[in-house]
Structures are given as structure tokens and as C-alpha cells.
Amino acid sequence: MRYLTAGESHGPQLTLIVEGLPSQLPFDKNKVDEQLSRRQKGYGRGRRMQIETDRVEILSGVRFGKTTGAPVALAIENKDWAKWVEVMSPEPDGEKAEKRRVSRPRPGHADLNGAIKYDHRDMRDVLERSSARETAARVAVGAVARLLLEECGIRVASHVVRIGSVEAKPSAEWRVEEIARVSEASPVRCLDPDAEKAMIQEIDQAKQDGDSLGGIVEVIVENVPVGLGSHVHWDRKLDARIAQAVVSINAFKGAEIGIGFEAGRLRGSQVHDEILWSEEEGFYRATNRLGGFEGGMTTGEPIVVRGVMKPIPTLYKPLKSVDIDSKESFAASIERSDNCAVPAAGVVAENVVAWEVARALVEQFSADTLQELVQAVQARREKAKGF
């Protein structure tokens, strides 16, 4: 399976095409819309989210509620476009656009590098596409992937483990359902109520100071069959693909699987998960420090992946930059932004991880139709259990 997204932050819509989905997959549009609406929430979001009500319009590949096997094309409207029709016009007419021309690159954004690379004297041509608005399209793609995962009994959830200086207490042994339920009820998507309060305070304080905050999110995928991905070639290692997917989210700077970077500090005996066997379960691990992966393949234990998001670079508190016309130094400031999008980014991370797991499933097993896929997944589960 593969997908493409297109669309600018203040253009008419985001467009996405998912190719390679099995046929006969029940396509519940409400479930896709539900993921989109989850992404719009979270303490620390800015005014733009009050303008948008993200929903997908199905343009192809679905008939009478099921996928046909043809590419699925979806669109998400940008309501804000109404105010940007002239500025974002595809016609060769520049007068109105001149007023919203961006000649001052914001530190931490794609503005300057993109302008030099693509030869844009108006950096709006960069920022419109580099905007995190695009993550709405990726959540829709992930939501489609989740329809497929659900049919295979695979569940995904996430929670926020850090915002700024506040870290949540480790949440030992929570199941995905519980993580999903508790994080959903939290305005910062955090499982630890004390940390939640402190995170909200820290977001308020940063806002007052004209500053922004980053954080860390954790995604958990449960009931994954053994042997997704492969040790035989670098670009088939599923943990590596997941890391790429997470780091490709706007403002993400790193990903770790299981205990991740902590593994560099510990001894082998403290890191590797011992292998056990029982009649009912077959092989399983005593612990899951390696986050569900050995040799780039799933072990059958939950996939656990964390991603770190830097503070949003669009700041009210000015940072030094240089105007590309006058070459004069100035203090970059902005009109409108989120000051913390970590809770929303958790939803994005969940959905990009869901996509990678679904892609690996379809690549791994015969999957022209949903029924073939479900049978093949079941057969793999039985094989692993009886091995």
C-alpha cells in the first residue's frame, strides 16, 4: 500500500489517495471523521482549530460502504480558505498576494531552506505546504489503515508522556483500551492526573510568556501477529519504517522503540526480554523492553514507540532572523499559532504508526480482499502458537 497527500494550509482542501487497500473492507466514514476530530482537540491549540471542522469527503474507491480495491481518494476541506481565495489563487494575479508576502523567515520553520531550494521570494510558497495542517491528511490515511487493523483484531492507542518539564509517572501494564479511554478524557491526553494538571499550568505559563512547548508521545499497538517486517533487508525492517513515519511528522525530532535510548545505559541482561512458552499462548516474552521488535520483526508483544516533538517554532516571543530582501536583522514574530500541539501530535503519531503496521500486513499476506487478509493473519497466529 502507498499514499500521497497534497494541499496547502490555506488552499481549498487537503487531498489524499490511498492505493493498494484490499477490497471488501467496510468503510465507515464516521470512524475516519472521529480520528480527524480527535486531532483537532488538545489543550494549547490555537484559533485556527475553531475555524476548521475536519471531515472527509469520499471521492473514489468506495461503493455501497465497502472498498472496491481501487485507489481511495479523500478530501478534507479547509474552511479558512474562504479568507485566502485571492492570496492562494492559482491564477497569475499577484496584487492581493503581495500583502501576505512572507520575506522574513521564521527560525525553526522550513521557510528559508525551502525558499533557497525552490527559488521562492515569497516564502508563503514554502510555509503553506510545510504547515502541520498536512497532518490532517495523514490522520485520515491512518484512520483508513485502522479500519483494516480493526478487522484483524489489532488496536492502537497513544498518550502524552511529557510536555515541557513535566513528565507523567510511568503507566505500567496498561492495556490499549484503558490507555485510549483515559487519554481521551484528558485535555492533554495524559494518563497521570497530577502530571496533567502540571502540564496545563506549564502550557498556560508558556502562553503568557509568548513561548511554545514540545513534548513526548507514546504509541502502543496491541495484538500484532509475529513476524511483520523482516530482518533480511534494511528497508523491510518494520521498526525502522515506524521510526521514519514518526520522525516525518511536523516538528518531530526523534523516535525510540521500547526503552529506546535507555538501552545504551543498561547491560544486556537488563535489556533483552526473556523468552517463555505456555500451552495457551505459545511463545511470549517475560518483559517488553524492546518494544515489540527483534531483528526488525514483530515479536507479538505490543509495539511501543515514542516520538519527541520540538516546541512549535511559530512564536509570539520574537527570535532573531534576517529579511531576505533587505538582509536586515529583525525580531520574527507571528499573528496566530498553537502554543502546544503535543496532544494533537499524539493522535497524528498513532495514525502514522497504524498506517505502517497496516502496510506491513498487506505486504506480508495475500490481501486482494479483506477476507484473504483476515484468514492469512489468523493462519500466522496459529502457526506461531503451534510452533
d(CA 226, CA 223): 9
Beta strands in 264-365 (DSSP E): 275-278, 282-285, 293-294, 297-298, 303-309, 319-322, 329-332
The DSSP output letter for 260 is G
Nearest to ligand EPS of 135, 158 (CB atom): 135
Q: Which positions from 56 to 85 touch ligand EPS by CB under 6 A, shown as an x/- string?
A: ------------------------x-----
Q: Does 124 help bind ligand EPS (rule: CB under 6 A)? A: no
Buried residues in 34-50 as b, exposed as e (16+ CB within 10 A):
ebbebbbebbbbbebbe
- Which residue do the cell numbers 467496510 mark? 26
311 assigned to a ligand binding site = yes
What is the spatial distance between Cα 329 and Cα 363, in angstroms, rounded to a whole number?
51
Contacts with ligand EPS by CB under 6 A: the residue count is: 14
Q: How far is the CB of 105 from ligand EPS (least distance, A)?
A: 13
Tell me whether residue 80 or residue 372 sits nearer to ligand EPS (CB atom): 80
For the chain, give the number of residues: 387
* Per-residue mark of binding to ligand EPS, 264-303 (x: CB under 6 A): ----------------------------------------
* Residue 218 to residues 138, 271, 303, Cα–Cα distance (Å): 18, 19, 10
Q: Residue 175: count other Cβ atoms within 10 Å of its Cβ.
A: 13
User: Minimum Å distance from CB 109 to ligand EPS?
Assistant: 7
**Exposed/middle/buried for 83, CB within 10 Å: 0-12, 13-18, 19+?**
exposed
99 assigned ligand-binding residue: no
CB of 305 to ligand EPS, least distance (A): 21
d(CA 96, CA 351): 37
CA-CA distance, 371 to 369, in Å (whole number)?
5
Strand, helix or coil at 291?
coil
What whole-number distance in Å separates Cα of residue 230 and Cα of residue 384? 16
| Near ligand EPS in 328-357, by CB under 6 A | 336-338
Q: Which is nearer to ligand EPS, 282 or 313 (CB)?
A: 313
Report d(CA 216, CA 252) in Å as an integer.
Answer: 9
Residue 136 interacting with ligand EPS (CB under 6 A) = yes
Question: Is 336 among the annotated ligand-binding positions?
Answer: yes
CB of 335 to ligand EPS, least distance (A): 8
The answer to the question of whether 131 is labelled as a binding residue is: yes
Instruction: Please state the closest distance from residue 51 (CB atom) to ligand EPS, in A.
Output: 8
Which residue number, 63 or 96, has a Cβ lying nearer to ligand EPS? 96
Q: Which is nearer to ligand EPS, 111 or 239 (CB)?
A: 111
Nearer to ligand EPS, 131 or 321 (CB): 131
What angle, rounded to 10 degrees, do the helices at 342-364 and 29-40 form?
150
Answer for the pair 251, 315: CB distance below 8 angstroms, yes or no: no
Q: In what order do the strands lie in the sheet with 72-77?
A: 2-6, 13-19, 72-77, 56-60
Q: How far is the CB of 290 from ligand EPS (least distance, A)?
A: 33
Q: Taking CB under 6 A as the rule, does residue 131 contact ligand EPS?
A: yes
* Contact window for ligand EPS (CB under 6 A) among 30-38, 133-141, 324-332, 353-361: 133-141
* Binding site as annotated, residues for FMN: 129-131, 250-251, 295, 310-314, 336
* Binding site as annotated, residues: 39, 45, 129-131, 250-251, 295, 310-314, 336
Binding site for ligand EPS (CB under 6 A): 9, 46, 48, 52, 80, 131-133, 135-136, 314, 336-338
* Binding site as annotated, residues for NADP(+): 39, 45
